[in-house]
């Protein structure tokens, strides 16, 4: 395989799976920039807690920095089948990128595999960000499943019962969708990050967190990210206790800030959204129980040793 092949593969993936949905992104972005959205709900939320709410199909969700740089961890489950379908970090990274930018989608898990949300606006100054931290740095991204959790903090800092994103996103989902749905998130909810400077290519280690600095350095007051919802969703997010990420020396001295979230809709009604492709694929266990009907395989190779 030549060195150009991976780039060609990525380009083909983008062309096949993302290009057909560009119009929905552009329409929603134009509505937002053109003042064609009206406020439905807003709230200023406080640090060291998790929050849950619902967003309807065709509405726009905004996360906005109001008091200082503040990292957030977010999760999304489909309201009609919250334990079965959710925004999936693996599909999102595979069909898009680990670092997320405007026009990219949050894809759902198998067997559904469809865009649940699209980033339609991101006001962060990427020119300053890349000048400071490198051309492949970002602030909105996905982990290959993970988030700060109680065991890690206790192991690292010797502090049990610490405020963590693991318990806070689950608290948000517990409050909006109930215990059964919250418990179904399991040990590794699929987390989508915002306002956390990161470089996956920095060494060491391969995931390098970078200081959030102060307002005006890169982030500025009222910077925001907006997402268009393509279905009715349960949303939960954590005010990450790393806060502005300017210091990891003492967990109890990390600085955190309030943040605003808001929900908007089109002045003339819900915005146009990406339709559900209604895939023919089945849940893996249902497929197995059915005897794997219509199973398609490759071929068995000849012995080579």
Residue ranges of domains in the chain: 13-267+277-284
Burial class (CB in 10 A: 0-12, 13-18, 19+), 193: buried
Cα 106 from Cα 100, distance rounded (Å): 9
Whole-number Å distance between alpha carbons of 50 and 74: 10
- Looking at residue 246, its pLDDT comes to 87
Q: What is the pLDDT of residue 131?
A: 93
- H-run or E-run covering 93: helix 89-95
Integer Cα distance of 225 and 280 in angstroms: 33
Q: In Å, how far from its chain's centre is CA 283?
A: 23
Please report where in the chains the tokens 């393509």 appear, as a residue: 230
- Other Cβ atoms less than 10 A from the Cβ of 215: the count is 17
- Are 74 and 168 in contact, with CB atoms under 8 Å apart? no
Query: From first to last of its 305 residues, what are the pLDDT tens digits of the chain?
Result: 445 566 676 677 777 888 889 999 999 999 999 999 999 999 999 999 999 999 999 999 999 999 999 999 999 999 999 999 999 999 999 898 889 999 999 999 999 999 999 999 999 999 999 999 988 899 999 976 567 888 888 888 888 988 999 999 999 999 999 999 999 998 878 999 999 999 887 766 656 788 889 999 999 999 999 999 999 999 999 999 989 988 777 788 889 999 999 999 999 989 999 999 999 999 999 999 999 999 999 999 999 99
**Geometric angle at alpha carbon 128, from 125 and 130, rounded to 5°:** 105
In this structure, what are the phi and psi dihedrals at residue 105, rounded to the nearest 5 degrees?
-115, 150
Q: What does the block give as tokens for 283? A: 């849940």
Cis peptide before 51 (omega within 30 of 0): no
Cis amide bond preceding 199, omega within 30: no
């Amino acid at each position: 395989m030549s060195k150009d092949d991976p780039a060609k593969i990525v380009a083909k993936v983008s062309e096949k799976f993302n290009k057909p949905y560009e119009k929905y992104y552009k329409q929603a972005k134009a509505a937002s920039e053109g003042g064609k959205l009206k406020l439905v709900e807003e709230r200023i939320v406080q640090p060291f807690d998790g929050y849950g709410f619902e967003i309807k199909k065709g509405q726009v969700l905004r996360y906005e920095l109001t008091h200082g740089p503040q990292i957030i961890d977010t999760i999304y489950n489909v309201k009609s089948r919250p334990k079965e379908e959710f925004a999936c970090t693996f599909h999102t990274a595979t069909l898009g990128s680990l670092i997320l930018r405007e026009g990219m989608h949050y894809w759902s898990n198998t067997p559904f595999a469809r865009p649940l949300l699209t980033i339609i606006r991101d006001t962060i100054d990427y020119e300053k960000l890349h000048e400071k931290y490198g051309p492949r740095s970002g602030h909105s991204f996905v982990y290959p499943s993970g988030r700060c959790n109680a065991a890690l903090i206790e192991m690292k800092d010797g502090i049990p019962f610490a405020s963590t994103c693991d318990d806070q996103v689950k608290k948000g989902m517990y409050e909006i969708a109930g215990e059964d749905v919250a418990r179904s998130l399991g040990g590794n909810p699929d987390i989508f990050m915002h306002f956390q400077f990161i470089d996956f290519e920095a060494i060491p280690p391969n995931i390098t967190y970078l200081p959030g600095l102060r307002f005006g350095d890169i982030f500025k007051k009222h910077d925001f990210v907006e997402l268009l919802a393509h279905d009715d969703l349960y949303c939960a997010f954590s005010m990450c206790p790393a806060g502005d990420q300017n210091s990891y020396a003492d967990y109890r001295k990390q600085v955190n800030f309030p943040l605003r979230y808001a929900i908007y809709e089109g002045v003339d009604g819900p915005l146009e959204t990406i339709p559900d492709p209604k895939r023919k694929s089945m849940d893996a266990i249902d497929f197995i129980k059915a005897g794997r009907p219509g199973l398609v395989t490759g071929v068995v190779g000849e012995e080579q040793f």
